[in-house]
Structure 1
Amino acid sequence: MKLRHVILAAALSLLPLSAHAGAKLADFALADRIKAKIAAGQPLDIYVSYHDVSNEFAPFMKTGVERAATEDKVSAQFIGPVGADADGQISEIETLMGKMDGLAISSVSTDALAPLIDRVIAAGIPVVTFNTDNPESKRLAFAGQDLVQSGREAGKLMAKVLGGKGKVMITTIDAAAQWSLDREKGAREALKAEPGIEVVSTLNTGTDPQKIYAAIENAMLANPAISGVLSLECCSTPAAGTWVERNKAADKVKVVGFDLLDQTVQLVQDGNVQATIDQAPEKQGFAAVDLIVQFLKGQPIENLDTGVGVYTKENIAEVAKK
């Protein structure tokens, strides 16, 4: 099966996300102050809390938030901690609760943030999740990628580019984060189905770009038998591809990762990264705001799966042109 057929299979194999189906304003105890703003036709104040505004993925989310604010005619503030700081995220949201008419949140930690989400809901403020779900909370809906499924697709792509045999290292900037655990679960499920592939380790690189590269470089030196690197996110993907480029190892080490950072796009074009999976961050940011606005207008809302977009050397020019 050719790689483009794998891409098509990935798109067709997506399953709907589990949902609090059809959350309705009529079933929600909306805060009186928000009711009064809606009745008076005053602009709504929506806050979008991302789990780390300092990472390279955040600007794509913010662009979607800003577009939604313009189109929906609301005030939408993109907030969140610098670095994956659950306490910082909680503190910021608690401080702003009296000002927000709706909250969209990508949790640093599902366990730590679920009680806060439920408190915000109890205060009569609608909450949706985006990018990283918090299904144990009472959130109204989720906009983002099915993380386990996207991990499976990454694992399938890794197996394909390796020809079904080899030693794989998984990399992630935050191995303890729920998004990473979910995506790794899917990746390992897919790779386990390939008897010729061994997952040798999961490398937790941290978030600093220089340290990410150094961690990958040291791991490759320690285990030269690694023939595949599967990155679970935006930021260790270009680092792995850069290692391949600098060591002229494209014929020996294959890289599959996530997202469409400029550097990643170039590495795919040059053949140093074999495939990268887009999770439509701008669409996620837009939906984070729009779901709340539609809910407050009385429209039922459901989960939105932003899908798995697979890019290889065969189709990456579509992105490069943009």
Structure 2
Amino acid sequence: MKLRNVILATALCLLPLQQAAAESKLADFPLAERIKAKVAAGQPLDIYVSYHDVSNEFAPFMKAGVARAAAEDKVNANFIGPVGADADGQISEIETLMGKMDGLAISSVSTDALAPLIDRVLAAGIPVVTFNTDNPDSKRLAFAGQDLIQSGREAGALMAKTLNGKGKVIITTIDAAAQWSIDRENGAREALKKEAGIEVVQTLNTGTDPQKIYSAIENAMLANPDIDGILSLECCSTPAAGTWVERNKASDKVKVVGFDLLDQTVQLVESGNIQATIDQAPERQGFEAVNLIVKFVKGETIDNLDTGVGVYTKDNIGEVTKK
């Protein structure tokens, strides 16, 4: 049976979010007087979008969505965040902007570390939404992004199908301690457990440096020559896994399932060195992060927004290259 070759809900919100409903109304929120005055005067809002690591290869897609929202919504939208997954750096940067922000969208480095800060920003009358990585422990107004547990399930199911229900698998991630990684891994393992013939050998924490990511995968494969599948949980270890397969001419033995549509990942899917990759609509996530705040301040009710799970294989990856 072929892997699914259709895009599943990249533009429609068809999968239920695991997070509780977050319907929020301006009437129930003590908006800061200075922000009220700006809205009344028709002045552009200053919205800050804090991403958990602006140095990774996924960030430019988010930034492009933020820029599009700024133009369409006629606001000042600033894409900020730490270089590397630095919770203290993310907190410090946001704290310095408290008096300037008319709205904050945040993808937290750490759920536990950032939740108190989010609540302090909200208490100051500044609307806060989360995007890409949710922070359900906070009182954020809404979340825009992919259901991470569900996307992990999708990846696990694709891996199981690719291996025909049997084989040894390594899970790779650039940050095993991050909440997004934990959620996605939980979903993947849940799906893989349904196949008695599949064994997850280890979760490989590669770090974020591209050369170190590849070296970590190479060393893991040398140590485990009987591995049949590599399941990547994010953008950046996916092309590294596919590149290892390509360099070792192992596409007939080692199958790769991963995430996102980096150029190298698309090429490796086309060449058959990656079997499937899952898109999470990063440009849309950046756009919706800003747009939700604008809607809220204008008095519209907002709620969680699922950007969906888009599955791409060799059968339909051409749709990406045509864009």
Which TM-score applies when normalising by structure 1? 0.97
Q: 2:3 is matched with which residue?
A: 3
Identify if the C-alpha distance between structure 1 residues 9 and 133 changes in structure 2 by more than 3 Å, giving closer, same or farther: closer
1:39-50 equivalent positions in 2, closer than 5 A: 39-50=40-51
1:240-319 equivalent positions in 2, closer than 5 A: 240-319=241-320
- Is the aligned partner of 1:24 residue 2:25? yes
- Aligned-residue offset at 1:321: 1.5
1:25-64 equivalent positions in 2, closer than 5 A: 25-64=26-65
* Partner secondary structure for residue 4 of structure 2: helix
| Identity across matched positions, percent | 84
Q: Distance in 2 between matches of 1:313 and 1:185?
A: 27
Identify if the C-alpha distance between structure 1 residues 256 and 49 changes in structure 2 by more than 3 Å, giving closer, same or farther: same
Can you give the 5+ residue segments of structure 2 that lack an aligned partner in the other structure?
A: none
Q: 1:104 is matched with which residue?
A: 105
Q: 1:153 is matched with which residue?
A: 154
Which deviations, in whole Å up to 9, do the C-alpha atoms of 1:99-125 show, x marking residues without a partner?
000000000000000000000000000
- Aligned-residue offset at 1:14: 2.7
Amino acid at match of 1:258: F
Which deviations, in whole Å up to 9, do the C-alpha atoms of 1:33-88 show, x marking residues without a partner?
10111111111000000000000000000000000000000000000000000000
2:8/2:310 contact within 8 Å kept: no
- Aligned-residue offset at 1:21: 3.4
Identify if the C-alpha distance between structure 1 residues 284 and 258 changes in structure 2 by more than 3 Å, giving closer, same or farther: same
Q: 1:79 is matched with which residue?
A: 80
Which TM-score applies when normalising by structure 2? 0.97
2:152/2:233 contact within 8 Å kept: yes
Q: Distance in 2 between matches of 1:118 and 1:21?
A: 15
Which deviations, in whole Å up to 9, do the C-alpha atoms of 1:110-165 show, x marking residues without a partner?
00000000000000000000000000100000000000000000000000011110
Q: Distance in 2 between matches of 1:306 and 1:129?
A: 13
Which deviations, in whole Å up to 9, do the C-alpha atoms of 1:165-215 show, x marking residues without a partner?
000000000000000000000000000010000000000000000000000
Q: 1:142 is matched with which residue?
A: 143
Amino acid at match of 1:66: A
- Aligned-residue offset at 1:16: 3.7
Q: Distance in 2 between matches of 1:144 and 1:51?
A: 14
Q: 1:210 is matched with which residue?
A: 211
CA root-mean-square deviation: 1.6
Amino acid at match of 1:235: C
Q: Distance in 1 between matches of 2:225 and 2:4?
A: 30
Q: Distance in 1 between matches of 2:156 and 2:216?
A: 21
Q: Which runs of 4+ in 1 moved over 2 A?
A: 4-22
Greater RCO, CA 8 A, separation 6+: 2
1:17/1:303 contact within 8 Å kept: no
2:235/2:258 contact within 8 Å kept: yes
2:170/2:231 contact within 8 Å kept: yes
- Aligned-residue offset at 1:5: 7.0
- Aligned-residue offset at 1:13: 8.0
Q: Distance in 2 between matches of 1:15 and 1:101?
A: 30
Q: 2:92 is matched with which residue?
A: 91
Identify if the C-alpha distance between structure 1 residues 28 and 15 changes in structure 2 by more than 3 Å, giving closer, same or farther: same
Amino acid at match of 2:250: A
Can you give the 5+ residue segments of structure 1 that lack an aligned partner in the other structure?
A: none
